């Protein structure tokens, strides 16, 4: 059975040569193999440009903690000026016209590449939870999600959660407008490192019982509302990859399985289908483990999830293939897709080339399990 090649999105700065150039790069390296979509990330640094440009609303936002972006502990945090009320326009990503330009370039690419006729362009969409947390509580989101620092800055976390509905409405307004214009050509990649990282931290503290329902309810809620809008969605979980370093290193895939199983039950109650989900196995610069125990929790994962195995490392195609085998054996099914753990923006050009080649090669392996 042939799997899909899945590209999470970003490319090294040297390869980010405009929308057409980025999409052409991915199309060229697919060699006619089926892909989930052709990505065109609008910000190679995920949401850094979004965070910087909150300054344009300095009549509403005030900087409460400065940051120079050196690492996760050096992110700034914003607050709301006294007497002002946060509105969706203050936190909108303002990308409708920009996405339209991407779609136009993708259509031109399709005309020259018949194999892409049924393929869509992939637009990365940060989960509103992540947008809110990084805007208001960037100071509490640092390496390892330290509990002491988070507690000392719990007012920032409270602000983020209190304003989460505003971020949610802003995201849904943009998704709705884009979907009305280009819905038959766009697939959204909903990206939520905070959801997965909170599960990893909760497992470390033996507190999953307290967090899983809250985090899964938010994730299922945004997925359900995007489905109601008619938006096609893929979920991308992540351990963080700023400067090619993860925020946390998971001992197994148990936190991801717990989050996804709880989300699946909530989506089922809503009557929403389960989208494909990208499960990262590598993290930061570390390759996917070659220990079967790491993947064993997949045995308990809801079978309706279409799994994209984030096992590809640019360092070793053979190790990536072994990791994929362990992933599929534990899940008792063939993966829907194969991918690297995150975007390629923090890789060298050579590493990005190798990761893409390995992704396509593994997607073509015909072996099945289960």
Q: Which H or E element spans position 322?
A: helix 317-331
Band of residue 198 on the pLDDT scale cut at 50, 70, 90: confident
Task: Kindly state the tokens that stand for 357.
Answer: 């080649």
Residue 367 pLDDT? 41
In 10 A of CB 315, how many CB atoms?
Answer: 15
Instruction: Look at 16-30, 82-96, 148-162 and tell me which has the smallest mean pLDDT.
Output: 148-162
Residue 207 pLDDT? 80
Residue 146 pLDDT? 44
Residue 244 has pLDDT above 50, yes or no: no
Residue 28 has pLDDT above 60, yes or no: yes
Residue pair 176/186 in contact (Cβ under 8 Å)? The answer is no
Residue 368 has pLDDT above 50, yes or no: no
Band of residue 353 on the pLDDT scale cut at 50, 70, 90: very high
Q: How far apart are CA 14 and CA 11, in angstroms?
A: 8
Residue 152 pLDDT? 47
Residue 301 has pLDDT above 70, yes or no: yes
Q: Which residues pair with 308 in a beta bridge?
A: 278, 337
* Proportion of the chain above pLDDT 90, given as a percent: 68
Residue 243 pLDDT? 47
* Entry pTM: 0.92
Residue 369 pLDDT? 43
Residue 32 or residue 214, greater confidence:
214
Q: What is the pLDDT of residues 84-117, one digit of tens each?
A: 999 999 999 999 999 999 999 999 999 999 999 9
Nearest-Å Rg of the Cα atoms of the chain is 20
Give CA angle at 3 (322, 14), nearest 5°: 80
In the three-class reduction of DSSP (H, G, I as helix; E, B as strand; rest coil), residue 71 is classed as coil
Backbone angles phi, psi at 317, to 5 degrees: -65, -35
Q: How far apart are CA 140 and CA 276, in angstroms?
A: 30
Task: Kindly state the tokens that stand for 122.
Answer: 């992939």
Say if residue 54 is exposed, middle or buried (CB neighbours under 10 Å; 0-12, 13-18, 19+): middle
Overall average pLDDT of the 264-277 stretch: 97
Residue pair 187/125 in contact (Cβ under 8 Å)? The answer is no
Residue 125 pLDDT? 96
Q: How far apart are CA 165 and CA 94, in angstroms?
A: 17
For tokens 């997949």, what's the residue? 298
Q: How far apart are CA 231 and CA 223, in angstroms?
A: 9
Residue 72 pLDDT? 59
Q: Which H or E element spans position 287?
A: none
From 27, 49, 55, 53, select the one nearest 39 (Cα to Cα).
27
Residue 68 pLDDT? 66
Task: Kindly state the tokens that stand for 173.
Answer: 């307004």
Q: How far apart are CA 191 and CA 238, in angstroms?
A: 7
Residue 17 or residue 89, greater confidence:
89
Q: What is the pLDDT of residues 131-148, one digit of tens each?
A: 999 899 876 665 555 444
- Rounded to the nearest integer, the mean pLDDT of the chain is 89
Q: How far apart are CA 181 and CA 186, in angstroms?
A: 10
Overall average pLDDT of the 177-194 stretch: 96
Residue 69 pLDDT? 66
Long-range contacts of 150-157 (CB under 8 A, 24+ apart): 153/77, 156/64, 156/77, 156/79, 157/133
Task: Kindly state the tokens that stand for 335.
Answer: 């993966």
Instruction: Kindly compute the dihedral angle of the four CA atoms of residues 331, 335, 336, 339, in this order, to the nearest 10 degrees.
Output: 120
Q: Which residues pair with 125 in a beta bridge?
A: 190
Q: How far apart are CA 28 and CA 149, in angstroms?
A: 45
Residue 224 or residue 66, greater confidence:
224
Residue 274 has pLDDT above 50, yes or no: yes
User: If you write DSSP's letter for every residue of 334-348 in order, what string do you get?
Assistant: --SEEEESS-STTS-
Residue 246 has pLDDT above 70, yes or no: no
Band of residue 201 on the pLDDT scale cut at 50, 70, 90: confident
């Amino acid at each position: 059975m042939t799997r899909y090649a899945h590209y999470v999105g970003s490319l090294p700065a040297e390869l980010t040569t405009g929308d057409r150039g980025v999409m052409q790069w991915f199309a060229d390296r697919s060699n006619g193999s089926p892909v989930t979509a052709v990505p065109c990330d609008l910000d190679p640094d995920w949401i850094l440009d979004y965070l910087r440009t909150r300054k344009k609303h300095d009549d509403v936002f005030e900087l409460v903690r400065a940051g120079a972006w050196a690492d996760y502990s050096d992110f700034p945090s914003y607050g709301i000026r006294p007497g002002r009320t946060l509105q969706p326009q203050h936190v909108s990503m303002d990308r409708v016209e920009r996405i339209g330009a991407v779609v136009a370039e993708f259509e031109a690419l399709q005309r020259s590449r018949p194999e892409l006729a049924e393929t869509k362009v992939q637009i990365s969409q940060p989960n509103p939870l992540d947008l809110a947390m990084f805007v208001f509580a960037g100071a509490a989101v640092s390496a390892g999600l330290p509990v002491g620092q988070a507690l000392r800055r719990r007012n920032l976390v409270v602000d983020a959660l209190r304003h989460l509905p505003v971020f949610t409405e802003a995201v849904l307004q943009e998704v709705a407008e884009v979907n009305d214009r280009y819905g038959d050509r766009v697939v959204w990649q909903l990206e939520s490192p905070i959801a997965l990282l909170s599960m990893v931290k909760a497992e470390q503290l033996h507190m999953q019982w307290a967090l899983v329902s809250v985090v899964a309810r938010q994730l299922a809620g945004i997925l359900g509302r995007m489905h109601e809008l008619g938006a096609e969605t893929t979920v991308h979980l992540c351990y963080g990859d700023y400067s090619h370093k993860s925020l946390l290193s998971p001992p197994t895939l148990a936190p991801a399985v717990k989050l996804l199983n709880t989300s699946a039950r909530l989506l089922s109650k809503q009557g929403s289908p389960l989208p494909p989900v990208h499960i990262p196995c590598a993290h930061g610069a570390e390759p996917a483990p070659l220990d079967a125990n790491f993947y064993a929790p997949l045995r308990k994962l809801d079978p309706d999830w279409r799994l994209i195995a984030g096992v590809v490392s640019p360092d070793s195609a053979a190790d990536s293939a072994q990791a994929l085998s362990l992933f599929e054996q534990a899940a008792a099914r063939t993966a829907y897709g194969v991918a690297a753990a995150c975007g390629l923006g923090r890789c060298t050009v050579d590493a990005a080339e190798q990761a893409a080649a390995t992704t396509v090669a593994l997607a073509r392996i015909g072996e099945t399990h289960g």
